[in-house]
Amino acid sequence: MLKRQNAIGLLELMLSIVVITAIILGATKYYLVAKEEMRIVQAQEIIDNVAKAAYTWVGGQPNFVELTGIDVLTNAGLLPLKYKNDNANPWGGNIKIQPAADGSMIHITFGGLEKGSKACKILDAKYGMDDCDFRFMSP
């Protein structure tokens, strides 16, 4: 008569470890993709809000020359104060606004957003840009 084995065999244990590892790796990949997609959506919202605020602000100005930073728009009450700190930027750096030398447009950039990254390419495609420098012309 054969003895019945009550313990988990080495092969079963190894198979369980492989399955658990595959599940953890899949969940991690999903998390990273979802996190990057969330950053892109947040960046789109910021770009749209900043552009809208800039156009509202420039309504009383001849061009964007005086729009020297995000502080101008937050101090005018056109953007929430949270845009001044690094927490507003999905990539953790500053959100920079600077006018072109002639004031004909503004440049919006995100510190920490790497040129050539997937997020940069997606945002470039949405706004018709090619270098993660989002430009809006003066009306």
Over residues 13-40, the pLDDT tens digits come to 889 999 999 999 989 988 988 999 999 9
**Total number of domains constituting the chain:** 1
H helix runs in the chain, sequence order: 10-58, 70-75, 118-127
Q: Is the dihedral of CA 80, 84, 87, 93 positive or negative?
A: positive
DSSP 118: H
- CA-based radius of gyration for the chain: 24
CB 82 within 8 A of CB 101: no
Domain-embedded: residue 50: yes
**Domain assignment of residue 81, given as a range:** 39-137
* pLDDT lower than 70: segments of the chain: 1-7, 86
CA distance 16 to 26: 15
Task: Tell me the three state secondary structure of residue 65.
Answer: coil
- Inter-axis angle of helices 10-58 and 118-127, to 10 degrees? 30
Q: Residue 7: its pLDDT value, please?
A: 64
Domain-embedded: residue 18: no
Domain-embedded: residue 33: no
Domain-embedded: residue 26: no
